[in-house]
């Protein structure tokens, strides 16, 4: 059984098992010391060996974040986004702490401070890869973490889902202002977003080999839910695609990086003084228009890629 003794204002717990290294750790509260001692003993009972806590003492949070960013995030579809989030998180002083000293309360303090500058949804997006990181560290990297501190953290409620639709005349204004820009990709991207409900990333990954002109269908091989889908193209969408410069197989139809596209969109919105309009709102507009045309939910889901019909319900309400 774990032995606990009080040293000054702190409690030291020691766990000794034959054939395993002696473990000890100090806590502010006796209850925390007892919980840690029990957890170490449970690990021994389940695995036949007590994990060496010295691994936790010499491993910093920075070590985990960098490894996760370079080995795990790099292989995801959202690699660029996660790399930005994790690299920014590395600037926090919390990253210099050893894993052995981290508690959920440390992340709670970070949450409270961070929510002063970001939205609840933004904070939850930042925490998602960190929570997964601790699980990977526990299960695959052999780091003896007893509990995932981010998983235990109370998360703020996400922001209400956006319901922004284009106001009368805004679509025409978007097209007008996009034509006046020096870049050629904004106008077709706007048209295709409203005609197909494709996401920005899906539009930027379009290739000529994805287009079947005979059946007027466009293949979207890489999607958010991981399931490829085929989108029927309206006459307006076909005309927009036909005006694009010809490209070789394997080359994007819209020759622009995601970061450059975002910058161009922001400048367009500022120039036209569009109030609170995100590019993703065009997807909302497209799906709402499909409901207004009388399309069924399964038909719309096949085009939009929604796996859960409940996610489409808010579009149906917006179209009323």
pLDDT digits (tens, 9 = 90+) for 259-294: 999 999 999 999 999 999 999 999 999 999 999 999
According to DSSP, the residues that pair with 26 across neighbouring strands are: 12
Check if 306 is active-site. Answer: yes
pLDDT digits (tens, 9 = 90+) for 233-256: 999 999 999 999 888 878 899 989
Check if 224 is active-site. Answer: yes
pLDDT digits (tens, 9 = 90+) for 15-28: 776 556 667 788 88
Check if 283 is active-site. Answer: yes
Catalytic annotation, pick one of 199, 200, 205, 284: 199
Check if 199 is active-site. Answer: yes
Do residues 33 and 27 lie in contact, with contact meaning Cβ atoms separated by under 8 Å? yes
- Measured at the CA of 225, the angle between CA 150 and CA 89, to 5 degrees, comes to 30
Catalytic annotation, pick one of 224, 229, 267, 278: 224
Q: Which residues contact 13 (CB under 8 A, 6 or more apart)?
A: 2, 3, 4, 24, 25, 26, 27, 33, 34, 36, 37
pLDDT of residue 47: 53
Catalytic annotation, pick one of 25, 200, 283, 284: 283
Check if 227 is active-site. Answer: no
Stronger pLDDT, 123 or 52, i.e. the higher one: 123
195/201 Cα distance (integer angstroms): 16
Check if 317 is active-site. Answer: no
């Amino acid at each position: 059984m774990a032995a606990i003794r009080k040293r000054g204002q702190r409690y030291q717990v020691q766990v000794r098992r034959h054939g395993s290294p002696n473990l000890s750790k100090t806590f502010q509260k006796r209850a925390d010391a007892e919980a840690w001692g029990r957890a170490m003993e449970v690990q021994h009972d389940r695995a036949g060996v007590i994990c060496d806590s010295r691994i936790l003492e010499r491993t910093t949070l920075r070590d985990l974040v960098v490894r996760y960013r370079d080995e795990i995030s790099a292989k995801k579809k959202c690699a660029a986004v996660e790399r930005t989030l994790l690299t920014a998180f590395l600037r926090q002083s919390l990253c210099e702490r050893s894993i052995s000293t981290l508690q959920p309360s440390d992340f709670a303090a970070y949450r409270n401070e961070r929510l002063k500058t970001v939205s609840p949804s933004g904070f939850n997006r930042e925490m998602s890869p960190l929570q997964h990181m601790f699980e990977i560290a526990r299960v695959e990297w052999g780091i003896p973490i007893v509990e995932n501190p981010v998983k235990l953290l109370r998360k703020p409620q996400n922001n209400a889902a956006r319901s922004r639709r284009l106001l009368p005349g805004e679509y025409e204004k978007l097209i007008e202002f996009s034509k006046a820009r020096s870049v050629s990709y904004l106008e077709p991207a706007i048209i295709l977003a409203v005609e197909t409900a494709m996401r920005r990333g899906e539009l930027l990954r379009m290739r000529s080999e994805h287009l079947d002109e005979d059946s007027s269908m466009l293949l979207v091989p890489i999607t958010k839910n991981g399931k490829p889908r085929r989108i029927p193209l309206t006459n307006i969408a076909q005309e927009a695609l036909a005006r694009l410069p010809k490209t070789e197989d394997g080359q994007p139809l819209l020759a622009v990086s995601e970061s450059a596209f975002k910058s161009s969109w922001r400048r367009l919105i500022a120039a036209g003084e569009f109030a609170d309009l995100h590019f993703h709102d065009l997807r909302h507009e497209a799906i709402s228009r499909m409901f207004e045309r009388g399309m069924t939910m399964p038909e719309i889901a096949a085009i939009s890629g929604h796996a859960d019909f409940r996610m489409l319900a808010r579009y149906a309400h917006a179209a009323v």
